[in-house]
């Protein structure tokens, strides 16, 4: 078959014009300036008394506060395993409310058996993609970091990136991996100066920039053609009929 000439004259007949939108710069402008500081939630993946992921999480929190952000840290002590308690559990509700409150997040995990820890994964697994009309993670920015007991590795941050994408978050390009973490923190749990600390500063700086860029625009940026179609009443009725649910 001959290749069609550009610009294409045969149109897009499968497109629903009622739901199709042309992105514009004007739509990118936030409706009104926000009057509160950028809000960040920090999660870390270890419950040890001397937890290097917690130390790194605190360093990120300090930096984000120094850049003008408001930061809250979730401590997973007492958080049940996913599906091992009702969603009304106080720790689950605390985590979900903090995620809804946040505009950006930092996830810090140790690397264990070549991947993130179960503590880290459990926290993310308790965050639903949607809860009624509320989406606790969609459109929020995300920075990922890891600590390792051995040599340099990126297994945990790579897995965290997959999770962030699945949770519909805007995961920034930069990341931090701290090898031989026991050498990088002093007895008080503060990270020592050096290239690895500088990289943490870079990550927090980039997260702040992306969060400022997304504020007031996230709903528009993550709005999707397919989901606009699915929200149509007739489409919802069809889906309900397909799964055997009949509204009375």
Q: What is the pTM of this model?
A: 0.85
CB 116 within 8 A of CB 159: yes
pLDDT digits 0-9 by tens, 113-135: 999 999 999 999 999 887 766 78
pLDDT in tens, 228-248: 888 776 655 554 555 455 454
Query: Which one has a higher pLDDT value, 9 or 247?
Result: 9
Q: Are 115 and 156 in contact (CB under 8 A)?
A: yes
- Region for 107 from its dihedrals, namely left if φ exceeds 0, alpha if ψ lies in -120 to 50, beta otherwise: beta
Closest CA to 91 of 156, 157, 138, 43: 43
The 10s digit of each residue's pLDDT in 192-213 is 999 999 999 999 999 999 999 9
């Amino acid at each position: 078959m001959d290749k069609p000439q550009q610009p294409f004259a045969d149109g897009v007949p499968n497109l629903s014009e009622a739901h199709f939108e042309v992105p514009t710069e004007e739509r990118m402008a936030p409706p009104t300036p926000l009057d509160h500081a950028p809000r960040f939630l920090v999660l870390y993946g270890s419950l040890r008394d001397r937890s290097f992921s917690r130390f790194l999480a605190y360093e990120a929190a300090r930096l984000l506060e120094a850049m003008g952000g408001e930061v809250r840290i979730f401590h997973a002590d007492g958080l049940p395993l996913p599906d091992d308690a009702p969603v009304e559990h106080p720790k689950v509700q605390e985590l979900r409310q903090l995620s809804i409150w946040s505009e950006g997040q930092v996830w810090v995990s140790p690397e264990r058996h070549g991947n993130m820890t179960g503590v880290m994964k459990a926290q993310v697994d308790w965050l639903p993609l949607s809860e009624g009309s509320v989406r606790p993670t969609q459109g929020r920015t995300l920075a990922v970091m890891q600590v390792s007991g051995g040599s340099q590795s990126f297994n945990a941050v790579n897995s965290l990136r997959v999770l962030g994408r699945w949770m519909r978050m805007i995961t920034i390009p930069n990341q931090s991996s701290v090898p031989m973490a026991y050498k990088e923190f002093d007895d008080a749990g503060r990270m020592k100066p050096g290239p690895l600390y500088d990289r943490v500063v870079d990550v927090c700086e980039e997260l702040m920039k992306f969060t400022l860029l997304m504020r007031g625009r996230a709903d528009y940026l993550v709005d999707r053609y397919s989901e606009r179609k699915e929200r149509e009443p007739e489409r919802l009725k069809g889906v309900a009929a397909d799964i055997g649910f009949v509204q009375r």
